[in-house]
Amino acid sequence: MKKIILSALLLTSLNLHSQISIEGGVKGSYNSTWLFNKNISDQGTEQDYAAGWGSNYGLGAAVYFGPIGLGVEFLRGTHTGGFAGDFAGKYSSNVKLNVNQIPLLLKLKSKNGAYIELGAQVNSISKATYTFDYTDSDIFDGTSDETSNYSKSFTSAVLGFGSNVKLSKAIPLGLHAGIRLQYGFSDAKGVDALGFNLDNKIVYPTYEKTNAVSGGLMIGLNYTFEAK
> Is 209 within the bounds of a domain?
yes
Residues 6+ apart with CB under 8 A from 45: 85, 86
The residue type found at 116 is I
Q: Assign residue 125 the CATH number of its domain.
A: 2.40.160.20
> Is 6 within the bounds of a domain?
no
pLDDT at 228: 62
pLDDT tens, position by position, 172-221 = 889 989 999 999 999 999 999 999 999 999 999 999 999 999 999 999 99
> Is 8 within the bounds of a domain?
no
User: Domains in the chain: how many in total?
Assistant: 1
- Cα 94 to Cα 81: distance, rounded to the nearest angstrom: 5
> Is 205 within the bounds of a domain?
yes
Cβ–Cβ < 8 Å for 192, 131: no
Cβ–Cβ < 8 Å for 202, 179: no
Q: What is the pTM of this model?
A: 0.87
> Is 2 within the bounds of a domain?
no
Domain that holds residue 178: 19-226
pLDDT tens, position by position, 4-36 = 444 444 444 545 555 888 999 999 999 999 999
> Is 169 within the bounds of a domain?
yes
Question: C-alpha angle with apex 227: 168 to 160, nearest 5 degrees?
Answer: 65
> Is 213 within the bounds of a domain?
yes
